[in-house]
């Protein structure tokens, strides 16, 4: 860690700070200069509060030259992590298409969509049983019954399933779920992350709407530091000033996360854009910049079918996209 002290600091202030730092068990290297003193600190920084140091009157800047993430850091583990789920693999050159409805609505719907996305080329089935909704008055998902229907669809289709957890107390319902999703709003629900870190299930961790890549990786680190190395990162759009699409899909996150971490990175263009017409081009773009998987919403609803719109693709649109993605992957 590098601390740049202000030029106008008195030597008493500097000495006082240095002896305090040493008292915290840190090794302090001093580089005097005509623009102010620079301190190089070596040792266990967990004991000190960097924000506090940065706010001290005599401190110009503090820069941590080591990354705060360890287990998910590519520097410490250069090999790509490959997550195996059923017959599918994600990461390290393996690609997975994850598809299914936003919410599980009933038996007929989920079984039919499962068959359709499998036929179209999906490797995993997604579907929401517990739905985080902004309003307490909106539909909150089928809950335990939704999980039961997803497991039935898994048995019938052979597709492994991905579904979201919102409350750690519901964990036992997820015993046969293949991949547990943590939604954007829970990306920093640290107690939930810690508990999931005690399982061995793959966790699909969605980036929060206003979270940096560093924060996403630190949340992965919460899971990994408890022992579960099976984390899949998911970019699903961030919140910006623009309002044409629902959120701003930050695809540059894909190569940046690959540079910073060995974990696989999946992209969800359906939630990011909120418009079916934007899903295929953005799914293609995600593949072109190196995503290890794409997660898209697919429906079988007659109202959708009639109007050919909304956030979800219909089964034919999905099969067409899956074909294009395979062609694209053959050239990159």
CB of 39 closer than 8 Å to CB of 2: yes
Asked if residue 237 lies in contact with residue 250, where contact means CB atoms within 8 angstroms, the answer is: yes
In the region spanning residues 33 to 72, those forming contacts with a second copy, defined by CB under 8 A, are 33-36, 38, 40, 42, 46, 49, 51-52, 55-61, 63, 65-66, 68, 70
> Closer CB to a second copy, residue 5 or residue 124?
5
Q: How far is the CB of 292 from a second copy (least distance, A)?
A: 13
Nearest C-alpha neighbor of 254 from the set 274, 272, 229: 272
Cα–Cα distance, 9 to 199 (Å, whole number): 51
Site for a second copy in 220-249 (CB under 8 A): 221-222, 225, 238-245, 248-249
Nearer to a second copy, 17 or 232 (CB): 17
- Helix, coil or strand: residue 272: helix
User: Does 79 participate in binding a second copy (rule CB under 8 A)?
Assistant: no
Q: What's the closest the beta carbon of residue 263 comes to a second copy, in angstroms?
A: 16
DSSP SS3 for 188: coil
Identify whether the C-beta of residue 121 lies closer than 8 Å to the C-beta of residue 322.
Answer: yes
Give the residue, chosen from 76, 158, 190, 316, that forms a contact with a second copy under the rule CB under 8 A: 190
Q: How far is the CB of 284 from a second copy (least distance, A)?
A: 4
Structure tokens at 265: 């990175």
Q: What binding mask, one character per residue, do residues 252-281 give for a second copy by CB under 8 A, x or -?
A: xxxxx--x------------xxxxxxx--x
Q: Which of 297, 283, 191, 164 is nearest to 235 (CA)?
A: 283
User: Quick one: which of 22, 25, 29, 76 contacts a second copy (CB under 8 A)?
Assistant: 29
Residue 210: CB minimum distance to a second copy, A:
3
Among 76, 92, 107, 133, binds a second copy (CB under 8 A): 133
Distances (CA, A) of 316 to 97, 115, 219: 15, 12, 36
Burial 16-35 (b: 16+ CB within 10 A, else e): ebbeebeeeebebeeeeeee
25 forms part of the interface with a second copy (CB under 8 A): no
19 binds a second copy (CB under 8 A): no
Nearer to a second copy, 251 or 322 (CB): 251
């Amino acid at each position: 860690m590098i601390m740049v002290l202000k030029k106008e600091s008195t030597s008493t202030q500097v000495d006082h700070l240095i002896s305090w730092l040493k008292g915290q068990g840190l090794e302090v290297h001093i580089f005097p200069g005509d623009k102010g003193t620079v301190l190089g600190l070596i040792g266990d920084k967990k004991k000190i509060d960097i924000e506090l140091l940065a706010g001290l009157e005599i401190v110009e800047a503090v820069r941590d030259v080591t990354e705060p993430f360890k287990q998910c850091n590519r520097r410490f583990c250069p090999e790509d992590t490959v997550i195996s789920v059923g017959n599918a693999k994600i990461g390290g050159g393996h690609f997975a298409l994850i598809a299914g409805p936003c919410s599980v609505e009933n038996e007929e719907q989920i079984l039919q969509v499962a068959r359709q996305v499998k036929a179209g080329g999906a490797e995993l089935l997604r579907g929401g049983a517990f739905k985080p909704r902004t309003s307490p008055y909106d539909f909150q998902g089928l809950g335990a019954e939704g999980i039961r229907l997803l497991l039935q669809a898994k048995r019938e289709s052979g597709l492994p399933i991905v579904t979201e957890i919102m409350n750690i107390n519901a964990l036992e319902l997820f015993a046969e779920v293949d991949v547990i999703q943590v939604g954007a709003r829970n990306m920093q629900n640290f107690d939930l992350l810690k508990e999931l870190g005690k399982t061995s299930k793959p966790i699909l961790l969605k980036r929060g709407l206003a979270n940096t890549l560093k924060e996403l990786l630190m949340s992965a680190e919460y899971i990994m530091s408890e022992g579960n190395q099976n984390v899949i990162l998911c970019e699903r759009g961030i919140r910006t000033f623009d309002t044409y699409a629902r959120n701003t899909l930050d695809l540059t996150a894909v190569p940046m996360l690959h540079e910073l971490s060995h974990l696989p990175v999946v992209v969800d263009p359906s939630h990011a854009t909120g418009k079916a017409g934007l899903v295929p081009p953005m799914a293609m773009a995600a593949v072109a910049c190196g995503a290890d998987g794409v997660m898209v919403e697919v429906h079988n609803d007659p109202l959708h079918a009639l109007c050919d719109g909304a956030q979800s693709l219909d089964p034919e649109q999905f099969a067409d996209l899956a074909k294009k993605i395979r062609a694209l992957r053959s050239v990159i």
